[in-house]
Structure formats: C-alpha cells, structure tokens
A = this chain, B = another copy of it.
Amino acid sequence: MSSSALLSSVLDRIDQTQEQAIERLCALLRIPSISTQPTHAQDCRAAAEWLKNTLTDLGMNAALHDVKWAGPGHPMVVGHAPKQPNKPHVLFYGHYDVQPTDPEHLWTAPAFEPRIVEEPSGRKVLVARGASDDKGQVMTFLEACRAWKEIHGELPITISVLLEGEEECGGANLLPFLKENAESLKADVVLVCDTAMADRKTPGITTSLRGLMAEEVRIKCASHDLHSGIYGNAAANPIAVLCKVLAELRAEDGSVTLPGFYDGVADPSDDVRARWKQLFPNDASLLEEAGLSVSAGEKKYTAVEQTWCRPSCEINGISGGYEGEGFKTVLPSVAMAKVSFRLVPGQDPERLRAVFRDFVKARLPEDASVTFTSHGGSTGFAVSETSPFLKPALEALTDEWNVPAATVGSGGSIPVAGEVHEALGLDTLLIGFAQSDDRIHSPNEQYGLDSFHKGTRSWARVLARFADLA
C-alpha cells in the first residue's frame, strides 16, 4: 500500500479527533514554563515530563536529559521511535519553554488559562502564552504522529524528537548537547515548527533566518541616587548618558553605526527580492498588523528586506530613575538597557559583541562606568535550496493549502538551524503555521485553530511524502 493511500485515513483521523487534540494542547499550555525566570524552573521540568509522556504514548523510547554546560539548566526531552527500514530518518526539534507574560495587565485573561476566542471574521483562535510559540506548533507535529500511530500502528518513517526548554533564554546548552549526543541524534534532515506562514493563505518553508547577539548595558555615575535640584546640571546623569549612546547606534539613514557591522553581509538576489515583493507589495502591507505604516530601518531596503535579510539593532528594554506614578526629582545613580542585534549570515556575533562594547565605552564621559551582561549569541543561517527534502515538503504543503507553497525569509532567530548544521552536519527545514498577528512574546498570544488543524494535516502529508522518498 502506498503511503498516499495510507494518508487518507490519517487525515480523517485528524479531523475526527481535533477536539481531543485541542484539549491536549491546552493541558500543555496550562504549565507556566517560563524559562528565564528561576521561580518557574519546576514548571519547565513539568512541561518536559508532560512531553516525555506524550512521546512515550507515540511509541517512542523517551527520556529527559539534564544539561550541564550553562544556566538555567532546563532538561532536554528526547524520544526515538522504532527504526523504519529503508525510510528516511528525521529529527524534529521544538521548544517547550515560553516567554515571560509581562505586561500582565494587558492580558484579557490569565496567560496560562488557555481559552478559545472567536475573531470578528469568525476565525477561532486559542489564546495563551505559548499557544503559537512554540507549544501549539510543536503539537501539530506530535498530533500528526499520533494519528499515524493510532491508525496504522506505526509511523511512516523513522522519527526522533528533541524538545528543549531554553530557546527563549539564550539556549546555551543546545550546541554542546547536540555535540555530545551527535551519534544518537544523527538523522537525514531536521524539521522545525517554529516559524510563520508566508501569509494567512500561503504555506511557506523558511530558508533564511537571522541570528541574535544580545547585551544588557548598565551605566553607573554617582555612588547613590541624588536630588536633581541639588546636583542637577553638575552631576552626570546615567539615563542621559545611556540615551546618547543608544541614539548614536543608528544613523539618519536608518543604518546601524557599529564599525564593520555590515562586513560580509550579502544582498538578496534580484530573484529573491522579486518573490518577496510579490508577497509584500509595499511596506505598509507588512507593517499594518502592527498598526504602523512606514518602515523605520535602512531607507534603501524594503520593510520585508529589512526584517528577512538585513541585520538590525533594537532596544528591547530600558529602565532608570523613578518609573512610578507621579514624579520624583531624583538624579539616579544607574540606568540600564537591553539591546539586541539580529544577525545575518556573514556576521560573527562574538566579534560584534566586542565592537558594541567598545562603541559604548568610547562614548562614556568621565565619572561614568559600564557593566555588560551577555544574553546569548547565534549566527544567521540560510538553508540550502537543493536539499532533497525541500521539494516533497513544498508539495505536501501545496496539497494541504491548495496554494503553491513559498520559500521565505524570517527575521527571527532559531539558533537550532545553525547549531544542527555545526554539530550534526544536517540541513533544517523550517515549516511553521503561525501568523504574523499571533502576538508571540506579547500579551494575548494566540494560535489559530486553523493553523493547528491544517498544520497537523500538513505534517501528516509531509511524513507521507518523505516515506515515498525511500
């Protein structure tokens, strides 16, 4: 029996069990597995245990693996299904950790109490922290596996699964873990479900990704907070020092001013630019979901080029002095900012970290000192368009969505793509069903029930196509 004949009953099974699948996803969403906050360490472990049990249900040999190379040490979940002779072997990667939930007051309901909301268009979405990034997306793959297993008693190809708990907090343990377990994790290709569709109707495979270099900068001037009346004008103000340094990170034309920042950065091909232009004919079409209309980056690139293939510099947080209600005439001792750079292939995060630190230090007045904290670094990545798995995956997506699947870029950072290439020598296919208005990392994060349902069906089709590759 061909795998396409087997597929039909699997798709029926997915349609018939959608309600139970949603309930399983909600159970995972109720675990507040915020990886950056030490108070949630036990919750991270609970999410890992829950997933290990799910993998065991799918017939896998599954276990938690402690990580030991860097903090915070949330465990890896690894599962291996029985080998299918003469079939490809895929390694599926996802993450069970989620972003913090602040600002809490902007959530319309508690972040870890998932609920289904109907949008004005009639589309239903599941709202909860992690609904899209990445629990909902991970569960599309695992539910596809579940349907195959329940209908046919086994999976159509050889599948291993690796789920980490530190993707949202630097993920410093992933690369050494991959290296130490290279033998058992080695497969033919890596699949990741942590990206968005090309647009709401067009499925896509992401073939370029940005890396990340993140720094926390603390500037200190006076030995203690001062009265701004008594010292104002004469005493160095660390907020003013910080603002001046940060303001100088971008030139008038929107480019980043760090020396050598763009060294080694290649422009996209005319072909790629033309394809992107079809997806986003103007800047407003990319920005409108954010309530914006004009791109803020380098003036000589379109908004989609700015986010998919140009490196960026963003201030992700700033804090200093009195931030509460009313006013306090304080001249603070310390001010802090969190700054991140999205990187593209050709940029070295650690070289640029050193350049950034020198840039800040060179702009400090006398009496000001600075301390830096590294919050991770990863290189940008471009996926080979010649991988034998790319075409069948695009075909499977096209079958499910009835629209030709696209290859797209992504502005986000998914370090695993670069790291599996480094540690295991494998290509990665980034296939995701998120939408750009899923509000990932923001209050009221959501995942469309259409994304969840058709995403699950898409994976079932991808597995069938891969089974036919053998």
Taking Cβ atoms with an 8 Å cutoff, the residues of A that contact B are 36-38, 99-100, 102-103, 106, 168-170, 196, 210, 212, 214, 216, 221-237, 239-240, 242-244, 246-250, 254, 283, 286-287, 290-298, 303-304, 306-307, 310-312, 314-332, 335-338, 340, 342, 365-367, 375-376, 410-413, 436, 439-443
Closest to A327 in B: B375
In the complex, the answer to whether A315 meets B321 with C-beta atoms within 8 Å is: yes
Cross-chain contact A230 with B319 (CB below 8 angstroms): no
Taking A230-B412, A232-B307, A329-B340 as known contacts, 5 extra A-B pairs with beta carbons closer than 8 A to each other, sorted by chain A number, are A100-B322, A100-B324, A224-B439, A229-B412, A318-B321
Query: Which residue of chain B has the shortest Cβ distance to A103 in the bound complex?
Result: B225
The reply to whether B322 and A327 contact each other, CB–CB distance below 8 Å, is no
The answer to whether A327 and B316 touch (CB under 8 A), given A224-B439, A229-B210, is yes
Closest to A72 in B: B326
Q: Are A234 and B322 in contact (CB under 8 A)?
A: no
Write the nearest CB–CB distance from A73 to chain B, whole angstroms: 14
Contact check: which of B214, B246, B328, B342 meets A100 at CB < 8 Å?
A: B328
CB within 8 A of A232: which of B292, B320, B411? B411
Nearest-neighbor residue (CB-CB) of A414 within chain B: B229
Residues of chain B within 8 A (CB-CB) of A231 are 287, 290, 307, 411
CB distance from A82 to the nearest CB of B (A): 37
Of the A-B pairs whose beta carbons lie under 8 Å apart in the complex, a sample of 26, sorted by A's number, is A37-B326, A100-B324, A106-B225, A196-B230, A212-B329, A214-B327, A216-B327, A223-B290, A223-B291, A224-B439, A226-B442, A227-B440, A227-B441, A230-B410, A230-B436, A232-B312, A234-B286, A234-B297, A235-B287, A236-B294, A243-B318, A293-B367, A315-B321, A316-B321, A317-B322, A318-B318
- Contact with A222, one of B234, B292, B342 (Cβ below 8 angstroms): B292
Closest to A342 in B: B232
Q: Are A441 and B328 in contact (CB under 8 A)?
A: yes
